[in-house]
Structure 1
Amino acid sequence: MATTPVAINNEKIPLLSSLSSNGNVPAWKAIQKEICSKQQRIWAVTLFSVMAASTSLLAGYTLAYPSWAILDLRGLGDARSFKHNKLMEGLFGAMSPIGAVFGGLIAGWSADCIGRKPSLLLTAVPSTIGWSAIGATYFIENKLAFDAVILIGRFLTGFGIGWSMFCAPVYIAEVSSPALRGLFSSLPLFVMNIGILLVYSLGMVSFIKFYHTAFIAAIISVIIFLATIIMPESPRFLIMKKNTAKAMRVIKQLRGPRGNVNEEFEEISYAVAMQSDLSFCQVIKKFKQRQVWLPFVLLMFIMFFRQFSGINALIFYADPILKKAGLKHVKFIALMTVGVAEVVLTFVSILVVDLFGRKILLVVSALIMSISSGGLGVSSYFDNDCMPCPSMNYLMIASLALFIIGVSIGFDSIPYILIPELIPLDVRGALGGILSAFHWLCAVFVAGLYLLCAGFDGAITWWTFAFFNLASFAFVAAFLPETKGKKLESVGRELSPQRYRLCS
């Protein structure tokens, strides 16, 4: 097979058949070939992807923690109680997303400078310190010190999840093969939902208090750190840092001795050769190129729409939402149902994301969320009316269930898959970190918006989410390109003026 680059329209393109997408081969056949091929070492990619994704367990744990920990903190029988302190409740919920903003900013720099694997390992440091601090607050009797330490702990745990939630999908995308990249890249969000379910499960145990769960999280963080030490570095990062011998060994480890090791090495090397390490000023200059600014703008909208769908409002404040739905006396069972449903449906989503593609799942997800959030708005409106209708509780429960289905099949996991797929390698760290920080900044705003608005008019809040979900449906359908089954090195050419079309 020829590998020498040739000039086509003044653009050097290598003659590698696999540099393009799978052509006219149906997605299910490409996936079947990948799984059944004796040349591919699927177990190695699966193992390292699961290890990288395990860092996201504490992301779900951190985000869902306030949903029942606040109830425990309200029950403290002294001045430290949150019972009449709405400001502390709001700050307790918001500090983790605020920390995640800064974690997302440093994630891009660390991924490009010290590597994908070291970055994932280092995320355990703020997480362990933060959870240990939250657990230690039980032994702090001074209210001012208690409030300060618990908020610092929440900030550090958020810093860790903002860091890991960017680095894990990038690492997984760079070690995966194109046919199964969507499946493996969805694992961090799947594991995150397991973390949410874990918190809800611990909340059902009467003798477990907020500080117990904090120490449990600190122990989990240490275990994850020890488990991820054996992961290899991403071959793309190694080639980018001129460590070609080690990169070749890693590719052999991932693909097996009978895999197309030389071909993959040449593809990555060619893509890296066309790029270079860039300073911040050079990244700004590079932003003028269509293949850089277009995917960045597209992903900014996707991240915006993900947060303004209402997804994290549901995670942060599941308890009051379920109480309003008439599930006050079985709230922990209801929380468990929400957690189990998200895990199961996200698992289904990661199985079909490489079959149906990213775009169609996002379109369906946005449509379902727009309908269900509209239903939540209607039920909230009648619940606040002078003559409330108890039957609206059924509409709220049905809308809530439909919303969970909509979130899980698309917007829960796919946005983070798209960052390493659409952003070019040489600016992936810098722009990906900005996207991650923007995503969490939107989460802070949405959490505050829900806390402020839901208290006096929940209907308007959910109708606002419905509007944004409808807008995201139109945006994805019109502007987002499909990346299913395409090599990371070839996706950029899909955004050229000759190939990129609306509604494609």
Structure 2
Amino acid sequence: MDSTNSTESNEFSSPLLSTELQGHGDNYGVDCEENRHRGTGSVPPVLILTTLVAVSGSYVFGSAVGYSSPSQIGIIDDLNLSVAQYSIVGSILTIGAMIGAVISGRIADYAGRRVAMGFSEVFCILGWFAIAFSKVFWWLYVGRLLVGCGMGLLSYVVPVYIAEITPKNLRGAFTTVHQLMICCGVSLTYLIGAFLNWRILALIGTIPCLVQLLGLFFIPESPRWLAKFGSWERSESALRQLRGKNADVSQEATEIKDFTEALQRKTEDSIIGLFRLQYMKSLIVGVGLMILQQFGGVNAIAFYATSIFISAGFSGSIGTIAMVAVQIPMSTLGVFLMDKSGRRPLLLISASGTCLGCFLAALSFLLQDLHIWKEVSPILALVGVLVYTGSFSLGMGAIPWIIMSEIFPINVKGSAGSLVTLVSWFCSWIVSYAFNFLMTWNSSGTFFIFASICGFTILFVAKLVPETKGRTLEEIQSSLNPYSTKR
């Protein structure tokens, strides 16, 4: 934020404007939606195209997550790696993502959402090439680290960008496409990896990177990001482009301008500044959801699905194909339900399903350890993993990222986004690195731990997570951070 705004922050102390902004958000409501789409009757093609370019990055994210499972045997054989070394291959991706998370908010805030996505793809392309042409294990590590850096950037900027460009009645569904494309990336990488060499699979990973990199030249910047830097005319122009030629964007543009101007009178808070009372509720919700999402075991299952099925006595290839058959339809269902049922109900159902899935998988390994019902335990493991995967894809995969993109005001969004994304990837690293060792220690105990965490997630959502369906970003942020526009 510039020095002028920092000076003005000392002069701004009116509680009236904060209340006025909240009231303005309430009055905005349905009338603005009707005006915005009057004469259009459908979603503007530019909004669809822009979202598709953005979620090309989500596909890159998914392909990186899905890469380690089908390539595990080939890489271990070709590069003569131990299980411990291959655990680093899986987990170093999340270390790179932590590095990307640290810089994601700053790059997205100061260079723009499109530039941040462009940077991420450069990292990913370099990483995929390093993996594809690696002759020794440390080149493999470098490649996974670079892809991870790109993922860390993408995991923050894609949902934030989509949330900022879409109208409130479509925001949930469009932001959920981020998770749908992650699932597509994971699933198709599983399928392709079952038939192709791991080096060719890495080269194929560069294709969606190039698609997004080229597509960024044809989409508008976020209107809210432009407004943050005082580019009001460009902000309104981008908003009009995204809403369609016949849409009336005056009320939406005015609300964005009023809310942004109020926040600009404050200095921009650093990560340390986030731990003030006025942001505490948003921080607890955002960070809490990410911790519970990761410690529920998602990346352990995604990274090592093949070895889980083999350990349970089931076919690894059939198991991963079954996961593909579940992931994409359930993610698609989540897209359609997001703006109808709301965030909280889907989160509660999804968390309940992941708890049940982990419990069934744990029960399968327990029966195996007790040497009873040997013919049943592999099927039980398959059912448990599929229930977990389907339930996670329905809500827990997408909604924490949606809520993260909705709850923080623009003056702290960069710092908050970096922190939340960093926490997510740090927890993912812990789980993905420790998983193989936990399975060696006690397979059933590992999944019982995951089940317990998923059970706690249900309580967390029921008690603390707000419903954000059908509300503008400004309304959500004013209600959660009532003093964010006051000194």
Task: Specify if TM > 0.5.
Answer: yes
Change (3 A) 1:8 1:459: same
Please say if 1:266 is aligned against 2:254. Answer: yes
Equivalent residues in 2 for 1:300-379, closer than 5 Å: 300-328=287-315, 331-379=316-364
1:12 positional shift? 4.1
1:10 positional shift? 3.4
1:384 positional shift? 1.7
Q: Give me the whole-angstrom Cα distance separating, in 2, the residues matched to 1:286 and 1:154.
A: 31
CA deviation vs aligned residue, 1:183-221 (integer Å, no higher than 9, x gap): 11111111111111121121232xx21111111212332
Contact kept, 8 Å, 1:22 with 1:486, in 2: the verdict is no
Q: Give me the whole-angstrom Cα distance separating, in 1, the residues matched to 2:299 and 2:281.
A: 27
Q: What is the aligned partner in structure 2 of residue 444 from structure 1?
A: 429
What residue identity is the alignment partner of 1:96? L
22, 25, 29: which one aligns with 1:19:
25
CA deviation vs aligned residue, 1:242-286 (integer Å, no higher than 9, x gap): 111211211110112332211111100011111128767666446
Change (3 A) 1:35 1:343: farther
Q: Give me the whole-angstrom Cα distance separating, in 1, the residues matched to 2:314 and 2:39.
A: 50
Q: State the SS of the aligned residue for 2:218.
A: coil
Q: Give me the whole-angstrom Cα distance separating, in 2, the residues matched to 1:376 and 1:34.
A: 48
Change (3 A) 1:456 1:162: same
Please say if 1:100 is aligned against 2:97. Answer: yes
1:435 positional shift? 0.4
Please say if 1:431 is aligned against 2:416. Answer: yes
Q: Give me the whole-angstrom Cα distance separating, in 1, the residues matched to 2:211 and 2:482.
A: 48
Between 1:178-187 and 1:332-341, the stretch displaced more is 332-341
- Of structures 1 and 2, the one scoring higher in RCO (CA 8 A, sep 6+) is 2
In terms of fraction of residues, the more helix-rich structure is 2
Q: CA RMSD in A?
A: 2.6
Q: Alignment identity in percent?
A: 25
What residue identity is the alignment partner of 1:250? A
389, 394, 402: which one aligns with 1:409:
394
Q: Give me the whole-angstrom Cα distance separating, in 2, the residues matched to 1:213 and 1:421.
A: 35
Q: Give me the whole-angstrom Cα distance separating, in 2, the residues matched to 1:496 and 1:247.
A: 24
Q: If the length of structure 2 is used for normalisation, what is the TM-score?
A: 0.91
Q: State the SS of the aligned residue for 1:52.
A: helix
Q: What is the aligned partner in structure 1 of residue 128 from structure 2?
A: 131
Change (3 A) 1:15 1:307: closer
1:371 positional shift? 1.7
182, 204, 227: which one aligns with 2:194:
204
Q: Give me the whole-angstrom Cα distance separating, in 2, the residues matched to 1:34 and 1:245.
A: 18
Between 1:12-21 and 1:408-417, the stretch displaced more is 12-21
154, 169, 173: which one aligns with 2:163:
173
Q: Give me the whole-angstrom Cα distance separating, in 2, the residues matched to 1:56 and 1:277.
A: 34
Q: What is the aligned partner in structure 1 of residue 5 from structure 2?
A: none
1:464 positional shift? 0.5
Q: What is the aligned partner in structure 2 of residue 195 from structure 1?
A: 185
Q: Give me the whole-angstrom Cα distance separating, in 2, the residues matched to 1:406 and 1:158.
A: 25
Q: What is the aligned partner in structure 1 of residue 8 from structure 2?
A: none
Q: What is the aligned partner in structure 1 of residue 241 from structure 2?
A: 253
Q: State the SS of the aligned residue for 1:426.
A: coil
What residue identity is the alignment partner of 1:261? V
CA deviation vs aligned residue, 1:69-102 (integer Å, no higher than 9, x gap): 11112332xxx322xx122111111111110011
Q: State the SS of the aligned residue for 1:376.
A: helix
1:494 positional shift? 2.4
1:165 positional shift? 1.2
Change (3 A) 1:70 1:285: closer
What residue identity is the alignment partner of 1:154? R
1:310 positional shift? 1.4
Contact kept, 8 Å, 2:274 with 2:416, in 1: the verdict is no
Change (3 A) 1:211 1:32: farther
Q: What is the aligned partner in structure 2 of residue 182 from structure 1?
A: 172
Q: Give me the whole-angstrom Cα distance separating, in 2, the residues matched to 1:491 and 1:306.
A: 22
Q: Give me the whole-angstrom Cα distance separating, in 1, the residues matched to 2:343 and 2:366.
A: 34
What residue identity is the alignment partner of 2:305? A
Between 1:117-126 and 1:389-398, the stretch displaced more is 389-398
290, 293, 313: which one aligns with 2:280:
293
Change (3 A) 1:40 1:277: farther
Unaligned runs of 5+ in 2: 1-12
Q: Give me the whole-angstrom Cα distance separating, in 1, the residues matched to 2:230 and 2:16.
A: 27
Q: State the SS of the aligned residue for 2:474.
A: coil
Unaligned runs of 5+ in 1: 1-6, 141-145, 499-504
355, 365, 383: which one aligns with 1:380:
365
Change (3 A) 1:264 1:394: same
Q: Give me the whole-angstrom Cα distance separating, in 2, the residues matched to 1:163 and 1:184.
A: 19
Q: Give me the whole-angstrom Cα distance separating, in 1, the residues matched to 2:175 and 2:206.
A: 25
Q: Give me the whole-angstrom Cα distance separating, in 1, the residues matched to 2:347 and 2:341.
A: 10
Q: What is the aligned partner in structure 2 of residue 396 from structure 1?
A: 381
Change (3 A) 1:252 1:367: same
Please say if 1:153 is aligned against 2:143. Answer: yes
Q: State the SS of the aligned residue for 2:412.
A: helix
Q: Give me the whole-angstrom Cα distance separating, in 1, the residues matched to 2:420 and 2:21.
A: 33
63, 66, 69: which one aligns with 1:64:
66
Q: What is the aligned partner in structure 1 of residue 9 from structure 2?
A: none
What residue identity is the alignment partner of 1:191? M
Change (3 A) 1:168 1:13: same
463, 477, 484: which one aligns with 1:492:
477
CA deviation vs aligned residue, 1:473-502 (integer Å, no higher than 9, x gap): 01100111100010001112322689xxxx
Between 1:485-494 and 1:472-481, the stretch displaced more is 485-494
Change (3 A) 1:183 1:385: same
